Amino acid sequence: MNAETLKQAIRDVPDFPKPGILFKDITPLLADPKLFRTAVDLLADRHAQARIDKVAVIEARGFTFGTGVALKLGAGLALIRKPGKLPGRTISASYDLEYGSATLHTHTDAILPGERVLLVDDLLATGGTAAATAGLIEKLGGTIVEIEFLIELAFLNGRAKLTRWPVFAPIVY
Ligand code: AMP
């Protein structure tokens, strides 16, 4: 089973969550155990021989795939969350969205200096979310081994914001 098969299980939802956005809905893929497993394998197996200390996952759909990746690789998990969710001391980064801005937090001890980190999210759009998150990981002293997405919307050129890091996405639109 390959990325092309997975693509067929991603549903396009026009005008969600706002007019003009074509939302890539991964829930049909998650509902099929073989497809879900393949998605996690595609992100995890390429790092099977590498030392990965932590998988950093971005709320909320990054949690879905990144948790599977961490379990397969024997790595710990670092949660990157929206404001008000993490109880301990956090560091945060704010970044611009199409309309307005957003902030993400992580615990200051989520990544230890020198740890090798995979950053996982479901989808690369403009790249603002991943760039801000990668900055947080580096601020804590982590080394980004790769930023991985299941899906890339290449026409939005999100990679332009991520040129400092290796980027991988098996499904490209
Ligand atoms: P960006 O910062 O623009 O790269 O946005 C990435 C984040 O927004 C990811 O966490 C995605 O889950 C979500 N996202 C952005 N655009 C879409 C889309 N068309 N379909 C589904 N999710 C999206």
Q: Residues 40-91: pLDDT tens digits?
A: 999 999 999 999 999 999 999 999 999 999 999 999 999 999 999 999 999 9
Mind listing the pLDDT tens digit for each residue in 10-27? 999 999 999 999 999 999
Residue 97 has pLDDT above 90, yes or no: no
89-98, Cβ contacts within 8 angstroms, sequence gap of 24 or more:
91/136, 91/139, 91/140, 92/136, 93/132, 93/133, 93/135, 93/136, 94/132, 95/128, 95/129, 95/131, 95/132, 96/128, 97/128, 98/126
Q: Which residue has its alpha carbon closest to ligand 1 atom 19?
A: 23
The residues spanned by each domain of the chain are 48-172
The CATH class of the 48-172 domain is alpha beta
Query: Which residue in the list 11, 51, 98, 164 is annotated as catalytic?
Result: 98
pLDDT at 11: 98
116 catalytic residue (yes or no): no
Q: Please give the mean pLDDT across all residues of the chain.
A: 97
Q: Show the ligand 1 pocket: residues with CB < 6 angstroms.
A: 21-24, 58, 61, 121-129, 158
Confidence band, pLDDT 50/70/90 cuts, at residue 99: confident
Task: Using the mean position of ligand 1's atoms as its centre, give its distance from the Cα of residue 151 in Å.
Answer: 9
Residue 98 has pLDDT above 80, yes or no: no
**The ligand 1 atom nearest the CA atom of 21:** 19
98 catalytic residue (yes or no): yes
pLDDT at 109: 98
Residue 7 has pLDDT above 80, yes or no: yes
Sequence-ordered list of residues with C-beta below 8 angstroms from that of 88, at least 6 positions apart, any chain: 107, 108, 109
